[in-house]
Structure 1
Amino acid sequence: MGGVGGVGGPRQVSRVILLDPADRILLLHGFEPADPGVDWWFTPGGGLEAGESREQAALRELAEETGITDVELGPVLWHRYCSFPFDGRRWDQDEWYFLARTRQTATVMGGLTELERRSVTGARWWTSEELSAARETVYPTRLAELFRKLLDEGPPGAPVVLAPEIV
């Protein structure tokens, strides 16, 4: 998860909307370390490290969290500000969501941080239909709708600013 927002403003985060050749999206399954009953699905990604570009962070985080390195990184689809409690503190994040494609569908969570090892339980490829029908919590909350629109219309001409999500 990297650094925490604060004096320098929100934590800068790159996330990846990773699609396979069948147009399935890869999501990770996570939970609150103090309360494993509180769980959700989310897109791979994380905070920028010193000197990294948004693109470099997206690819590094994807490799660390999924083992997937054979990736064609596309445009930024969405920007989102979010704020949520996790692992005993509040996280304020400025998130950029990159479109990416891969033919590499096997995942290996070899590079997880200590916090991720305590809070991430696996990965799954979802079709748009499966995501739309999902009863589980998914972040960002409108992902099913955004994913459907992406498949129907292609990437937006410029990044779309999503409504802030404050939990």
Structure 2
Amino acid sequence: MAALTTDPHGRILLVRKQTSQMFMQPGGKPEPGEDSLSALRRELQEELQVDVPASALSPVGEFETDTANEPGHVLHSQVFRLHLDQPVTASAEIAEARWFTLDEADALGDRLAPLARKLLPRLAAPRLRESVRALILDERDKVLLVRFQFGPARFWANPGGGIEAGEDRLTALQRELREEVGLDVDTLGPEVWTKTAYFPMNGCDGQVDHIHLVRTSHFTPKPEFTDQQLRDEGVQEIRWWSVDEILNSTEVFAPRALRELLPDVLRRVPDQPLTIAGF
């Protein structure tokens, strides 16, 4: 069993065992009576000290390759896809656990295990969903943010969402803002940030958020969506934030660097959007 593991930056996690110079996917062999998912979950806990639910592991397929450390032998592997946004700690027989860009992994040459090399092309052309969001500022520079919750993940983000078939960015943003916060906009303001994060969702490998500045008078959010429709979209709360509240809050924001990015935008709207990698 092996985990094809990636993070929000699109990097791949590879491990090196104490007895080898080869980098490979984390994983191992099932013990008697274990099914595939139970075995892989146990291996991830033992090797990396991460506890992942079975629902976080999605099947990629079964592969036959040469073994990494036993010439002349064939390895039969059942591979599962895993997205991680948390630290890992090398333990048990693992000497090293590192995140690699695809180019860095490819540059390992003979130190990249055959299975890992076979899996690299699956990450080379990620399918990214296009999304549009609004940095909504009122006349006092307060920011309107939406609190999303998906499973254990809870964070405050700019309202907006995916661009549907046949929509341009303005049309999509108009729809999303009416649904989520009850705001009508006529024009698309300047794009201040372009954020690309990698995570599995609806058949895609990640999302590109185009975040546009929207200036408006202060208003009370009145979404078109019902409370149940908002919850179905992951929306739990909507509120205005002052800059000081954001700077002093312990909440998680998306972009994660919102505390650093927001003051810069208030001082000067950039001529070109700032590129952000990850959440």
Relative to the length of structure 1, the TM-score reads: 0.80
What are the Cα deviations for residues 52-74 of structure 1, in whole angstroms up to 9, with x where unaligned? 11122122211110011156641
Q: Which moved more, 1:105-114 or 1:64-73?
A: 105-114
Q: Is the 8 A contact 1:71 1:101 kept in 2?
A: no
Two-structure CA RMSD over aligned residues (Å): 2.6
Aligned to 1:41: 156
What are the Cα deviations for residues 8-41 of structure 1, in whole angstroms up to 9, with x where unaligned? 8200000100011111110001212x44xx4211
Q: Is the 8 A contact 2:146 2:157 kept in 1?
A: yes
Residue type matched to 1:144 in 2? R
Relative to 1, partners in 2 of residues 1:133 and 1:77: Cα closer, same or farther, differing over 3 Å? Answer: same
Residue type matched to 1:92 in 2? G
- Structure 2: stretches of 5+ with no match in the other structure: 1-124
Residue type matched to 1:165 in 2? G
Find the aligned partners of 1:123 and 1:68 in 2 and give their Cα distance: 13
Q: Return the offset for 1:165.
A: 0.6
Aligned residues: 154
| Matched position secondary structure for 1:23 | coil
Aligned to 2:219: 105
Aligned to 2:251: 136
Equivalent of residue 148 in structure 2, options 30, 34, 38:
30
Q: Name the one with the larger strand percent.
A: 1
Relative to 1, partners in 2 of residues 1:160 and 1:112: Cα closer, same or farther, differing over 3 Å? Answer: farther
Choose 1 or 2 for highest CA Rg: 2
Equivalent of residue 208 in structure 2, options 94, 108, 130:
94
Q: Return the offset for 1:97.
A: 0.5
Find the aligned partners of 1:40 and 1:115 in 2 and give their Cα distance: 18
Task: Kindly report which structure 2 residues correspond to 1:74-93, keeping only aligned pairs within 5 A, or say none.
Answer: 74-84=189-199, 92-93=206-207
Q: Is the 8 A contact 1:58 1:98 kept in 2?
A: no
Give me the identity figure in percent: 31
What are the Cα deviations for residues 122-155 of structure 1, in whole angstroms up to 9, with x where unaligned? 1111111111111011111011211111112x21
| Matched position secondary structure for 1:18 | strand
Find the aligned partners of 2:145 and 2:210 in 1 and give their Cα distance: 16
Relative to the length of structure 2, the TM-score reads: 0.50
Large movers: runs of 4+ above 3 Å: 70-73, 88-91, 112-116
